[in-house]
Amino acid sequence: MRTRSWLAVPFALLVLSLAHCGGPVIPDTGGPAGTDAGVHADAGHDAGTDAGASVDAGTDAGATADAGAGADAGTNADAGTNADAGTNADAGTNPDAGTNADAGTNADAGTNADAGTNADAGTNADAGTNADAGTNADAGTNADAGTDADAGTSTDAGPGPWALRIMAANLTSGNLQSYDPGDGIRLMQGVHADIYLAQEFNYGNGSATAVRSLVDAACGVECSYFREAGAQIPNAIMSRYPILESGEIDDTQVSNREFAWARIDIPGGHTLWAFSVHLLTSSSGTRNTEAGILKKFIQDNVPPDDYVVIGGDFNTDSRTEACLNALSSVAGESSPYPADQNGNGNTNANRNKPYDHVLASANLRALQVATVLGTSTYAHGLVLDSRVYTPLTDLPPVEKGDSSSSNMQHMGVVKDFVIPAP
């Protein structure tokens, strides 16, 4: 197993308090579970095993042109403008200027040919306050320097406790496994999460500017992000709290994506380790192998007192599948599960299989509270299906047809937690 990691670049970040929009209350937990059946299309790598696949056609939609931006300019003044846009305006302090030939065009066209050219020159000296010179040596890995992580830390969040809303989101639609049609963006906007664990994170031409515009639209200009590099259908993490460190874990079972992770400076005295995953549809045995890779990384790297959340598209046929059991010692869930207004906890398009999950470590799971959105309360978290959710006035700008848009194969899963003051 290979792992790759790098420090995220800080930027100005808005930190939410407990009173965030539609934030959680602290009631009881417990609620209904769903039943399982159905299909899923993991187009691109999985084509041929999954009916109704959203064909990726090897074009990669420019997904990996995200590299090398990171305009830290001496004092790490990311301050909201996020001058990340593929121009590498860090000249003088970020000495990869001139080698980051990926800027703007990134003719990725199915071959992912920008790997190795986006060398970060091994120093990436973030002169000034973010002095990680020499440690962020990312050469050849097409680092996603557009993370624009944080100015300041979560200790600025004011007195606790603090609300923390997390959403698993494989919400692409259309024919290119991307967020360009906008339906998935509206679904993410509607829940106003603090952390999004997203899959198939493609948008526009895949440049740093395009991906940053997706983050701005779905999460907000204050959000930092990490998007894995060189992947046809990359995983990503967006966060309203500062990303301290991020990277990829090699998924040995698939060639068109890895596992994305980020260490996030949430308030309350414990760091949150977030993992965005997209397991294969091929077999439960393959998914169990993938879960073993994740479990080992967490056991080897995450301090026992830190929080862990693993979220995304697991492609699981049931809630008792081996991969979920394998992960349960590091992050899991138990009945009652998140559900929609009709009590259905399944998340595929046909609403008969639990593909998507937000799994939490035991210490974080103990802090879960009801998800409150406008006038509606979901005691154990929400499976968001715009076709059945009422009233949609709880979720502006969500539209009724968003969850039934062309090739929308998943529902989002939302869970809320309240982090106590230390």
Encode pLDDT of 82-133 as tens digits.
333 333 333 333 333 333 333 333 333 333 333 333 333 333 333 333 333 3
Sheet containing strand 3-6, edge to edge, reads 3-6, 243-249, 259-264, 272-278, 307-313, 356-360
**Cβ–Cβ < 8 Å for 347, 326:** no
The three state secondary structure string of 332-360 is ECCCCCCECCCCCCCCECCCCCCCEEEEE
Coil, helix or strand for 12?
A: strand
Angle, CA of 202, 318 and 184, to the nearest 5°: 25
Q: In angstroms, how far is the first alpha carbon of the chain from the final one?
A: 36
Which phi and psi angles does 278 have, rounded to 5°? -145, 90
Give the residue among 186, 324, 169 at the shortest CA–CA distance from 236: 169
Strands 356-360 and 307-313: what pairing?
A: antiparallel
Largest CA distance in the chain: 58
The pair of structure tokens assigned to 318 is 């049931």
Q: How does the average pLDDT of the chain come out, rounded?
A: 75
Question: Is 322 strand, coil or helix?
Answer: helix
For residue 186, the Cα-to-chain-centroid distance in whole angstroms is 16
Asked whether residue 51 carries a pLDDT value surpassing 90, the answer given is no
Residue type, 104: G
Range with the poorest average pLDDT among 147-161, 183-197, 342-356: 147-161
pLDDT 10s digits, 60-89:
333 333 333 333 333 333 333 333 333 333
What pLDDT is attached to residue 364? 98
Closest CA to 144 of 198, 102, 204: 102
Helix (H, G, I), strand (E, B) or coil at 157: helix
What is the C-alpha separation between 386 and 396, in angstroms, rounded?
Answer: 11
pLDDT surpassing 80 at residue 48: no
Helix (H) or strand (E) holding 187: helix 183-191
Q: Is 361 exposed, middle or buried (0-12, 13-18, 19+ CB in 10 A)?
A: buried
Amino acid sitting at position 414: V
DSSP reduced 3-state for 262:
strand
Dump pLDDT digits (tens) for 281-326. 999 999 999 999 999 999 999 999 999 999 999 999 999 999 999 9
* Interval 39-61 mean pLDDT: 35
User: Regarding the domain delimited by 3-57+152-419, which CATH topology (the fold level of the hierarchy) does it fall under?
Assistant: Deoxyribonuclease I; Chain A (3.60.10)
**Chain centroid offset of residue 93 CA:** 29
Domain boundaries, the chain: 3-57+152-419
Question: 301 by DSSP, 3-state: which?
Answer: helix
